[in-house]
Structure 1
Amino acid sequence: MKTTYILLFNLFFMATAIAQDTTRYIKTSTGYLMVLRQGDDIFKQLEAFAEKEKIPSASFSGFGFVNVTFGYFNRDTKKYEPKDFNNMELSGMNGSIAWQKGKVSLHTHGTVTGKDFSAFGGHILGGTVGTGSLEITIIVHPQRLERVFEEPLGANVLSLEEK
């Protein structure tokens, strides 16, 4: 009998662990709440979510633990100059979800802090969840919005025209 209880407990524990690995977000009264885990690619998870849920456009904010690459947009070269920050606390992340040429297009900025409380921030080029988790609140907009490349600026800009 004791062996049966142990076996059932282990099966329940394994099923719970598997469920936690696959459930990354839930629907809420205001949109969605996403919780990412250590090692998750932040942009891949947001892009997969937007495609699966057929999100027309959205705004999001988040906080947690990350390894992140910021990019400073050099106006002269019209390219991002990247810099990596590892094992940081993401004190704030804001962004938008739109579409460009049939694919999800994210625009994300954030601020991270280190153990010495120094802060760094800017345009997020990519990142993964560090030790702990990352919580993201997503507010969906009813309009499908597109990003359009603007030549003089050399960057993608959110168009407010519905598609």
Structure 2
Amino acid sequence: MTAQDKSKKRYITVPEGYLMVLLQGDDILKEIENFASAEKVPSANFTGMGFVNMTFGFFDFKKKAFDPKEFKDMELASMNGTIAWQKGKVSIHAHGVVTDKNFNAFGGHILSGTVGTGSLEIMILVHDQTLERKFEEYLGANVLCIDKCN
């Protein structure tokens, strides 16, 4: 596979929102953040599927930290997430499920990921209201506010 042109747009407008196609080596969360910033997305939900290298985290509420685990050369069977804002920056919250060649499934909170061999297709449904996240000290985690964050 030849190196792709990093200056090429990765998404198009469709009646339901946007369709994004990422290619091998693309940083998944970074590309979604870049898109949301460029298009000034007030908030959105997204779904995706494709081939990935992914690091998931399981949140330990006692430690208030993620326990990470990396998975390489996997098929992303499902990815779901939200786009919101936090302190003036795009805030992504995403979960996913990957499968290996033996059809074993693994999943959790997506900490990071890159597109593996092939591509990743993401459907983004944009909302008409700006939503924000706020860090909740008692949880040690960010929470989506459906009303103004106080």
Q: TM-score, normalised by structure 2?
A: 0.94
Q: Aligned partners of 1:18, 1:79: CA distance in 2, in Å?
A: 36
Cross-structure match for 2:69: 83
Q: Aligned partners of 2:101, 2:143: CA distance in 1, in Å?
A: 35
Query: Is this contact kept in 2: 1:69–1:84, CA < 8 A?
Result: yes
Which residue of 137, 143, 147 corresponds with 1:151? 137
Query: How many residues are treated as equivalent by the alignment?
Result: 147
Cross-structure match for 2:24: 38
Cα deviations by residue, 1:113-160 (Å, 9 ceiling, x for unpaired): 000110000100010000000000000001010001111111100000
Cross-structure match for 1:6: none
Cross-structure match for 1:51: 37
Amino acid paired to 2:46? F
Which residue of 94, 98, 103 corresponds with 1:112? 98
Residue 63 and residue 18 in structure 1: after superposition, are their counterparts in 2 closer, same or farther (change >3 A)? closer
SS in 2 for 1:22: coil
SS in 1 for 2:129: coil
- Say what the alpha-carbon RMSD is for the aligned residues: 1.6
Query: Is this contact kept in 2: 1:67–1:85, CA < 8 A?
Result: yes
- Alignment gaps of 5+ in structure 2: none
Runs of 4+ aligned structure 1 residues displaced above 2 Å come to 17-21
Bigger relative contact order, structure 1 or 2 (CA pairs below 8 A, ≥6 apart)? 2
Cross-structure match for 1:26: 12
- Alignment gaps of 5+ in structure 1: 1-16
Q: Aligned partners of 2:4, 2:73: CA distance in 1, in Å?
A: 26
Higher Rg: 1
Identity of aligned residues (%): 63
Query: Is this contact kept in 2: 1:144–1:162, CA < 8 A?
Result: no
Where in structure 2 are the equivalents of 1:126-145 lying within 5 Å?
A: 126-145=112-131
Query: Is this contact kept in 2: 1:143–1:162, CA < 8 A?
Result: no
Cross-structure match for 1:97: 83
